[in-house]
């Protein structure tokens, strides 16, 4: 199951296709997030699936339980491989998300459903000063993960620093905030290398700009796979 997922944070389909044309015969696991999905919508996701790509649809649903249930029912029809909600929505919202996803995916394999715990752009100071959460990021991730377990989810989005604890709970971990040695950190606070993520037991790593902005993205992608999978 372990794999490298490329964060495809492109403005439009043309940008994505230009990038994919540089990847040779590789069919990498792709993360389609809000920027691209809100521009191109479900047709792009269906086209990518038909072309043989695995898709992590990263929309981070967070609303009242009934709204999330109905939205997930629609997303379940797309046949993606992973999708997600915000754990901060509470156990009932998460349960309803899973119910909707199962109903929408009838006749297909249900996508893995994971919960976003604490964004890797946040740290302890932001949690305390801005969000008034008096737990550390590690403690908050742990509490949100327990809620995901109660709701029957498959795993969580967390930083590599929490991946080992998630594995001990029986949850898969999808870990953004991955950078290669020497790369700019950008807007992330809790970052790590593919090798560190592997050592911490992460199930998936999400790598964006380190690959997509590279002069030779195929070479960097293959290095990430080697570092993470040990291949």
Give the count of beta carbons closer than 10 Å to the beta carbon of residue 53.
19
Q: How many structural domains are present in the chain?
A: 1
pTM: 0.92
Report pLDDT for 190.
54
Annotation says 60 is catalytic = yes
pLDDT digits (tens, 9 = 90+) for 190-209: 568 999 999 999 999 999 99
List of the chain residues with pLDDT < 50: 185, 187
**Residue among 13, 22, 46, 60 flagged as catalytic:** 60
- What Cα–Cα distance (Å) separates residue 152 from each residue in 56, 92, 94, 109? 19, 11, 9, 16
We report the CATH number of the domain holding residue 137 as 3.20.20.70
pLDDT digits (tens, 9 = 90+) for 82-105: 999 999 999 999 999 999 999 999
* Degrees, nearest 5: CA angle 177-167-120: 20
Report pLDDT for 183.
55
Tokens, residue 175: 């870990």
Report pLDDT for 231.
61
Helix segments in the chain, DSSP class H = 13-20, 34-40, 42-50, 65-75, 91-104, 124-129, 137-150, 163-168, 194-199, 209-212, 217-229
Domain hosting 29: range is: 3-229
């Amino acid at each position: 199951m372990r794999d490298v997922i490329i964060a495809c944070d492109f403005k439009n389909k043309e940008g994505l296709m230009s990038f994919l044309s540089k990847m040779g015969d590789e069919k990498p696991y792709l993360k389609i997030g809000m920027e691209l999905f809100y521009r191109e919508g479900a047709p792009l996701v269906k086209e990518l699936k038909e072309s043989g790509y695995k898709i992590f649809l990263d929309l981070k649903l967070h609303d009242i339980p009934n709204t999330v249930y109905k939205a997930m029912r629609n997303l379940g029809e797309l046949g993606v491989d992973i999708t997600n909600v915000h754990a901060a929505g509470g156990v009932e919202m998460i349960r309803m998300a899973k119910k909707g996803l199962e109903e929408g995916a009838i006749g297909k394999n249900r996508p893995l459903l994971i919960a976003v715990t604490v964004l890797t752009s946040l740290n302890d100071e932001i949690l305390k000063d801005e969000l008034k959460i008096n737990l550390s990021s590690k403690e908050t991730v742990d509490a949100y993960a327990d809620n995901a377990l109660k709701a029957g989810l498959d795993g969580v989005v967390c930083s590599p620093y929490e991946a080992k604890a998630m594995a001990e709970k029986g949850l898969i971990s999808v870990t953004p905030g991955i950078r290669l040695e020497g790369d700019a950190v950008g807007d992330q606070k809790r970052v790590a290398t593919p090798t560190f993520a592997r050592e911490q037991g992460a199930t998936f790593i999400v790598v964006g700009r380190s690959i997509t902005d590279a002069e030779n993205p195929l070479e960097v992608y293959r290095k990430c796979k080697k570092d993470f999978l040990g291949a």
